[in-house]
Amino acid sequence: MTPEQVQASPEPAQATLTFRHLFGPGPSNCYPEAIAAMAYPVLGHLDPLFIQRLDRTCEGLRKVWGTANARTLPLSATGSGGMEAAFVNMVAEGDVAVIAVNGLFGERMCEIARRCGATVVRVDHEWGQPVDPERVLAAHPHPKVIAAVHAETSTGVLSDIAELGRDKGDALLLVDAVTSIGGLELLADEWGIDLGYAGTQKCLGVPPGLSPFTVSEQAFERRIRDPRSWYLDIGLLGGYMGAATGSRTYHHTAPVTMIAGLEAALNRILAEGLDRVQARHREAASALQSGLQDLGLELFAAEGHRLPSLTTVKVPDGVNSGAVRRYLLEHFSIEIGSGAGSFAASIWRIGTMGPNANAGSVKLVLGALEEALAKA
C-alpha cells in the first residue's frame, strides 16, 4: 500500500462514535479489558499462542459455568446458535424433549427442538413466573432431555435449576444461561446441568458473537452421532476446541479476535472475584428495583424470582412505551428494552449487567426515566 492508499479511507461518520449506555436486555456495555484485547495483534487459529489463549479461555469458562467439564468452550455463534447446538446434538427423530416455557426463549427452544425432529412436550407457564420444577418433572416419564431457561431474558425471571437436576432421573438437563453467566450464581455441576449454552453480551461484558458452551461426559456419550449440523457438531468440535480429546484437528477457523475479548473479560471477572461480581449485580438490581417502585412503577417479574441482571417493569397506563424509550435515547443516549412477544408495548426491560452493574448506572437510568416519564 502506498501512503495515498492508506489515507484513502474515509473518516467514520460522527454517528459511529456515539456512546450509548446499554441498559437494555443486551448487548450490555463491555468491560474495557474486552474491547482492548480485541485490538491485540491477530493470531492464526492454529498458532501455539492462540491455542494457549483458547485453553485459558476454556478454563475461565469452566469457572463461570461452575463445572469441571472438559468440553467447555466458546462456540463460534451467538447465544441463539448455542441453543441450536444444544438441541441438534442431543435430540433427533423420536427423542422426547420436555421443555419448560415461561418466556420467549423457552418458546424458541420448542421451535428449535421441533426442527431437530424431536417430540416436544412443552410445559407452559404464565410469563413473569418462574419454572415449576414439579410440573416439568411430571410431564413425561422418560424424556431424553429436560430443558429450561435459568434467567429468562424476555421476562426478567430467575428459575430454580437445582431442583430439576436433583430429580431428572435418566434425562439430560439442558439449560439456557444466557442472562446469568458471569453475573449470577451458576453451578452447572452441583445443579446437575448436562448441557448448557450462554452468550457473551450480557453479564460477561463482551460483544455478542460467541456462545459459551458446556457438555458433561454423560451428555457427550449420549449425543446424536452424525447430527444434522456439521458446523455445530460437538463430536467434531471437541478435537479442535479443547484439550479434551488430546488431539487438535482443524474444523473451522475460530473467531480469534472475539475469543481474545472473551479471555480478557473472564480474567477481569475472575480477578475481581466471582462472589464480588455477583454481589455487584445483586446490589445494582436491588437498588434499581427499589428505585423503580419509588417512582410509582410496578415490577413485572414475580417477587422473589427477579433477576439480578435484568429488571422488568410495567409501562404505566396511558404512557407510550416507545416515546419514553425514544426520549431516553435522544436526551441521554440511554437504551432500555421494550418487552417481548405480547408484552412488547406493556413492559420495559432494564439491564444492569457486566460493567453496568454499579450504583452510578442505577442513578443514571432512574433519573433519566423519571424525566422521561414526566416529559415524553
**Which residues inside 144-173 make contact with a copy of itself, applying CB under 8 A?**
none
352 near a copy of itself, judged by CB under 8 A: no
Part in contact with a copy of itself (CB under 8 A); list of ranges 215-223, 237-245, 263-271, 316-324: 263-271
Q: For residues 130 and 212, which CB has a smaller minimum distance to a copy of itself in the complex?
A: 212
DSSP category for residue 117 = T
Minimum CB separation of residue 282 from a copy of itself in Å reads: 15
List the one residue from 90, 120, 147, 258 that touches a copy of itself (CB under 8 A). Answer: 258
342 near a copy of itself, judged by CB under 8 A: no
N-to-C CA span, the chain: 51
| CA 180 and chain centroid, separation | 6
248 near a copy of itself, judged by CB under 8 A: no
Burial 132-168 (b: 16+ CB within 10 A, else e): bbeebbebbeebbbbbbbbbbbbbbbbbbbebbbeeb
Residues 273-292: x/- map of binding to a copy of itself (CB under 8 A)?
x--x---x------------
246 near a copy of itself, judged by CB under 8 A: no
Q: For residues 80 and 286, which CB has a smaller minimum distance to a copy of itself in the complex?
A: 80
Copy the grid coordinates of residue 312.
Answer: 422488568
Q: Which of residues 299-318 bind a copy of itself (CB under 8 A)?
A: none
Q: Which of residues 47-76 bind a copy of itself (CB under 8 A)?
A: 47-49, 52-53, 76
Minimum CB separation of residue 116 from a copy of itself in Å reads: 7
Angle CA 289–152–257, to nearest 5: 100
What single letter denotes the amino acid at residue 246?
Answer: G
The phi and psi torsions of 305 (rounded to 5 degrees) equal -130, 25
Pairing of strands 310-314, 211-215: unpaired
DSSP category for residue 89 = T
199 near a copy of itself, judged by CB under 8 A: yes
Copy the grid coordinates of residue 86.
Answer: 444444544
Sign of the four-CA dihedral 242, 248, 249, 254: positive
Part in contact with a copy of itself (CB under 8 A); list of ranges 31-39, 155-163, 164-172, 368-376: 31-39
15 near a copy of itself, judged by CB under 8 A: yes
Minimum CB separation of residue 126 from a copy of itself in Å reads: 22
User: CA 356 to CA 156: how far, in whole Å?
Assistant: 16
